[in-house]
Structure 1
Amino acid sequence: MSSYQPLLTKAPAQLIQANGQPAFGLFDGSVPDFNLQTFVYQNLMDKKANTLARYFHYKQFQFICVTGSDWVLAVAIADIRYANSGFAYLYRFDTNQTVSKGLLLPGALGCKMSDSPSAGEAKQQFAAYKVTIKTSPSDWQLNINTNELKANLTIEKSSQMPLALCAPTGYNGFTYTEKSNALKVSGSIELQGHPLDLTLALAGYDFSAGFMRRQTSWRWASISAMVDGKAFGLNMAAGVNETGLCENALWFDGHIQHLSPASFVFDRKDNTKPWQVSSLCGEVQLEFTPLYCRQEKVNIGLLASNFRQYVGLYTGFVVLQNGSTLQLNKVKGLAEDHYAKW
């Protein structure tokens, strides 16, 4: 089995460099300042892009997942310029029941985003639905206030190195992605007025932004769970950051291990069939069994989205950098299959 040890670059203080272009690479930490106003964005004919193109071509989303002993909470806010969308749902493994709420609003109605994964605030508020994500160098804070679901959580991000990278996207764009899983979480969650136990809970976050392809698709796998008595996290994806870099990593007992490119084999027409999730160099060999699917299809001309996010169980193994094998047996996690025209 081949080892995979990519070179890391020191995270720059600012994403956009003196030449007006992003710093590309796999970083050793978070990039605090995107300074997007200095980005020299050109069209497909190498001319300066106009103001409207510069505004509408920039996309951003933030996502948080918290996995408890018998439940999973997933929350997202996305700004796709023509519209903004978001959701918050909680799935219970013990009862196979879900409480879910989603929004799709025109333009920036009810939505505010942050340009920094470590210094800002994103929020989505409309009627009885309110979600806020605050980021800092030390933690992410999540507040949810809906009729059935309420949460006030703090997710520790400074305890381990995140997966952070910036890669060229398409002909003239870039995508910055920052993720970290298996993080400690504290605070409170109430489901229909009843508190949930956070004692064994672990969390993960995702901050992704940039001038992405007009038509984008990706497959994704994510885990935050205790394995062999230690915190284990996994992030694997295919479809966005694959121009010389890939956004794949695991965390075990607070240490990050970068992984080779990912492969996803599944039946898009059957939501109940298992997925096969593996890595190019063989460090990851997993089977994912879906239990619940949150899905939506939107096709309104300028915009289209075919979105399926699954909650389920992972079984298989990963090989750690020291050569030892970590077995996973029905470990809770997420998987996703998404097409977007934005």
Structure 2
Amino acid sequence: GRVVLNAPSSGKAAAPSKVVEKDLSGALAATDFTRGLLRRETVWKWLSLSAMARPPMAASAKAAPAPAPYGLHLSTGTYDFGPGGASSESSIFFRDAAGEPAFDFFDAANVTFTQLDTAKPKTESRWHVAGPGGLDLTFTPHGGTFHGDIHLGVIDCDLWHMWGTFRGRAPARGPAGSTDAVVELDGAPGVLEDHYSLW
């Protein structure tokens, strides 16, 4: 797979059923291209977000740094080739305390995705995502959700794909980072996915 987060974007977006146009200058984009041979039975959870976030403050800094592009891409249950079963595609894109662009892999082997509103359909429920490095996020769906449902005996698929926003704390570096190296997110746009496949 290949992931691109925090790519500056420009242009306009328009919905076919509406006359509203949205100016995308200054927006951040994320793409996720996956190509691989997955297990016969695959269960995965996935999230991706790109937002402006305030980076960790350097000990010598006199003032808090300005918000900078931040991206988080986490998956569990697929591409789990890293130490302890961590997904090889889980990654963080951020600016470090010196303001330099940085990238780090993230150990998603111990990340949990929990549906909070179990009485609601998955596409309408809030979700909690927790893990190492101070990861503590709540995801709220805001429409544009998709539920793929295929049951053909030898092929079985349930896919819940939800667009929404994330709120909480996320690590600014990978598993070697300390828990105080976090960014605060509030209303960060992104996607969360819960997928079961038998193929």
Work out whether the TM-score is over 0.5. Answer: yes
Q: Deviations over 1:32-85 (max 9, x none)?
A: xxxxxxxxxxxxxxxxxxxxxxxxxxxxxxxxxxxxxxxxxxxxxxxxxxxxxx
1:301 and 1:214 mapped to 2: Cα distance?
A: 13
Amino acid at match of 1:287: T
Say whether the 8 Å CA contact 1:182–1:202 is kept in structure 2.
yes
Amino acid at match of 1:330: G
Aligned to 2:188: 331
Aligned to 1:283: 134
Query: Which structure 1 residue ranges, 5 or more long, are not aligned?
Result: 1-176
Amino acid at match of 1:308: W
Aligned to 2:115: 266
Determine if the alignment matches structure 1 residue 220 to structure 2 residue 52: no
| Residue from 81, 94, 102 that aligns with 1:255 | 102
Find the residue that maps to 2:10 and give its secondary structure: strand
Find the residue that maps to 2:23 and give its secondary structure: coil
Of structures 1 and 2, the one scoring higher in RCO (CA 8 A, sep 6+) is 2
Spell out the pairing of 1:169-184 with structure 2 (5 A cutoff): 177-184=1-8
Residues 329, 195 of structure 1: alpha-carbon distance in 2 compared, 3 angstrom cutoff:
closer
2:46 and 2:127 mapped to 1: Cα distance?
A: 11
1:269 and 1:239 mapped to 2: Cα distance?
A: 25
1:277 and 1:205 mapped to 2: Cα distance?
A: 21
1:243 and 1:258 mapped to 2: Cα distance?
A: 13
Instruction: State TM-score, norm by structure 2.
Output: 0.72
Find the residue that maps to 1:196 and give its secondary structure: strand
Aligned to 1:211: 37
> Displacement, 1:294?
1.3
Amino acid at match of 2:3: K
Spell out the pairing of 1:80-95 with structure 2 (5 A cutoff): none
Say whether the 8 Å CA contact 1:296–1:306 is kept in structure 2.
yes
2:37 and 2:91 mapped to 1: Cα distance?
A: 23
Please tell me the root mean square deviation across aligned C-alpha atoms, in Å: 2.2
> Displacement, 1:188?
4.0
Q: Deviations over 1:2-33 (max 9, x none)?
A: xxxxxxxxxxxxxxxxxxxxxxxxxxxxxxxx
1:319 and 1:308 mapped to 2: Cα distance?
A: 25
Identity of aligned residues (%): 26
Say whether the 8 Å CA contact 1:237–1:248 is kept in structure 2.
yes
Determine if the alignment matches structure 1 residue 232 to structure 2 residue 96: no
* Larger Rg over CA atoms: 1
1:311 and 1:208 mapped to 2: Cα distance?
A: 19
> Displacement, 1:257?
2.3
Find the residue that maps to 1:316 and give its secondary structure: strand
Aligned to 2:63: none
Amino acid at match of 1:255: A
> Displacement, 1:308?
0.6
Amino acid at match of 1:237: S
| Residue from 298, 302, 305 that aligns with 2:154 | 302
2:8 and 2:91 mapped to 1: Cα distance?
A: 18
2:195 and 2:171 mapped to 1: Cα distance?
A: 28
Q: Deviations over 1:126-178 (max 9, x none)?
A: xxxxxxxxxxxxxxxxxxxxxxxxxxxxxxxxxxxxxxxxxxxxxxxxxxx22
Say whether the 8 Å CA contact 1:313–1:333 is kept in structure 2.
yes
